[in-house]
């Protein structure tokens, strides 16, 4: 079924103990779409400035990513981010950020995209996420991401968003901040009472937690032996998660569990190299093989 993503497109400079990648392609919509394209056609909605050095048609060549929703604002500048990872790769600091086009009005969802059935609203202001969601006619399953800035600064708008979506995908720090609970099971239960039906809590190298009203699933991360750049891992997780659901057209708990596993696998490839190199160097067979390996590793 149709899968739409709306999110950021960025020019990133990333510093890790393994090197530096300057002015590389990044952004939530980019990582999401690349990972999702292994499973399902993707409808891409995003905006860049006239300074964007990347030809996204070439980036996604050979992949079923429809760029009709890409808007180029010639008199604006593209979102930029510079970040540094610590020696253990667990902690990251933002050294420099320019919101640029992300501080402007969001892009318009093309009319031909308004019938999308699966929708992912990548991290941005909840008010903008609500505006974008309002342009979709009758979605079957909507997931969203957020961050601490919006949790602390726009709590009521965020709660309104959560009441209108089916799934919230956030990390463990965000879950604790949003719920006021340190225990992640209690945090998930409390967030579910706001209104969403499903919550996925990403725990980095500790895996992920999937919670619905009466069911819980925990999966460890894939044991990666090569971590060069964690940037985009969460967005790749979401891309494969939503891509699998859109491919099958199912959102029952068993399908959600499989989607979490595919998300875990996609993230494990992303972190193996800078920018998109970890994803562009593989094919669906590689993802399926690692999915099978993860299943064997977690079976007892």
Q: What is the pLDDT of residue 117?
A: 97
Which of 97-111, 161-175, 241-255 is predicted least confidently? 97-111
- The answer to whether 4 touches 120, Cβ cutoff 8 Å, is yes
- Our count of domains for the chain comes to 1
pTM comes to 0.95
Which range of residues forms the domain containing residue 52? 3-297
Q: What is the pLDDT of residue 86?
A: 86
Q: What is the pLDDT of residue 27?
A: 93
Model pLDDT for residues 147-159, shown as the tens digit of each residue: 888 899 899 999 9
Q: What is the pLDDT of residue 93?
A: 86
pLDDT, mean of residues 102-121: 94
pLDDT at 210 exceeding the cut of 80: yes
Question: In which residue are the tokens 């193996």 written?
Answer: 272
- Give the CATH number, domain containing residue 12: 3.40.1190.20
From start to end of 100-215, where are the E strands? 118-121, 141-144, 167-171, 198-202, 208-211
State the chain's mean pLDDT as an integer: 94
CA–CA dist 7, 132 (Å, integer): 10
- The answer to whether 106 touches 131, Cβ cutoff 8 Å, is yes
Reported as a pLDDT band with limits 50, 70 and 90, residue 234 is very high
User: Exposed, middle or buried, 61 (CB in 10 Å: 0-12/13-18/19+)?
Assistant: exposed
């Amino acid at each position: 079924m149709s899968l739409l993503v709306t999110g950021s497109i960025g020019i990133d400079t990333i510093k890790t103990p393994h090197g530096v990648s300057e002015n590389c392609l990044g952004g939530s919509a980019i990582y999401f779409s690349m990972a999702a394209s292994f499973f399902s056609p993707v409808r891409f909605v995003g905006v860049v400035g006239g300074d964007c050095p990347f030809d996204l048609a070439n980036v996604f060549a050979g992949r079923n990513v429809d760029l009709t929703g890409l808007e180029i604002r010639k008199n604006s500048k593209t979102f930029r981010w510079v970040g540094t990872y610590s020696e253990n790769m667990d902690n990251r600091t933002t050294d420099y950020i320019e919101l640029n086009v992300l501080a402007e009005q969001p892009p318009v969802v093309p009319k031909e995209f308004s019938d999308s059935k699966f929708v992912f609203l990548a991290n941005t202001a909840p008010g903008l996420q609500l505006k974008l969601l309002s342009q979709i006619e009758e979605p079957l399953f909507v997931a969203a991401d957020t961050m601490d800035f919006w949790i602390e600064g726009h709590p009521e708008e965020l709660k309104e968003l959560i009441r209108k979506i089916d799934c919230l995908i956030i990390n463990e720090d965000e879950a604790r901040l949003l719920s006021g609970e340190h225990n992640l099971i209690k945090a998930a239960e409390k967030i579910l009472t706001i209104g969403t039906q499903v919550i996925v809590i990403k725990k980095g190298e500790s895996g992920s937690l999937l919670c619905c009203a009466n069911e819980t699933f925990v999966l460890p991360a894939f044991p990666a032996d090569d971590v060069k750049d964690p940037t985009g891992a969460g967005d790749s997780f979401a891309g494969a998660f939503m891509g699998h659901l859109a491919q099958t057209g199912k959102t029952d708990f068993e399908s959600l569990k499989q989607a979490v596993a595919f998300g875990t696998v996609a993230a494990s490839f992303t972190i193996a190299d800078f920018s998109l190199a970890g994803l562009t160097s593989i094919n669906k067979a590689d993802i399926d093989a690692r999915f099978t390996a993860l299943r064997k590793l977690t079976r007892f």
